[in-house]
Amino acid sequence: DIQMTQSPASLSASLEEIVTITCQASQDIGNWLSWYQQKPGKSPQLLIYGATSLADGVPSRFSGSRSGTQYSLKISRLQVEDIGIYYCLQAYSAPFTFGSGTKLEIK
């Protein structure tokens, strides 16, 4: 099974700050990586698909990148509404696997 190692587990940042979350895949998954935001009491929402493509309606301050088997989600200017838990997902091959999540808070 493909393992997704997500870091950090938690993150506290100031408004307008740049935030980066990473996922390391245990093997090549190409661009089959997506990112999700989950707000308290809500279902996850797709932010990024295909490693770098922004989902419909997602603010442009969110972006995704890939370097080999390392994937990153960047929030360019942190806003209050960005608090929540972020997950990566590899859907390259079953069984699909989520990262362990990153809890993002405002400092």
Partner 1 sequence: QVQLKESGPGLVQPSETLSLTCTVSGFSLTSYGVNWVRQPPGKGLEWMGTIWNDGSTDYNSALKSRLSISRDTSKSQVFLKMNSLQTEDTAIYLCARDGGSSWGFDYWGQGVMVTVSS
> Using CB under 8 A as the criterion, what x/- string covers residues 50-89 for binding partner 1?
xx---x-----------------------------x-x-x
Q: How many helices (H) and strands (E) does the chain have?
A: 0, 11
Q: Are 61 and 79 in contact (CB under 8 A)?
A: yes
Site for partner 1 in 4-23 (CB under 8 A): none
Which one among 13, 46, 54, 83 touches partner 1, defined by CB under 8 A?
Answer: 46
User: How many CA atoms does the CB half-sphere of 12 hold within 13 Å?
Assistant: 1
- Binding segment for partner 1 among 11-19, 24-32, 67-75, 76-84 (CB under 8 A)? 24-32
Apex 28 CA angle, 26 and 33, nearest 5: 90
The residue behind tokens 């400092």 is 107
Residues that bind partner 1 (CB under 8 A): 1, 30-34, 36, 38, 43-46, 48-51, 55, 85, 87, 89, 91, 94-101
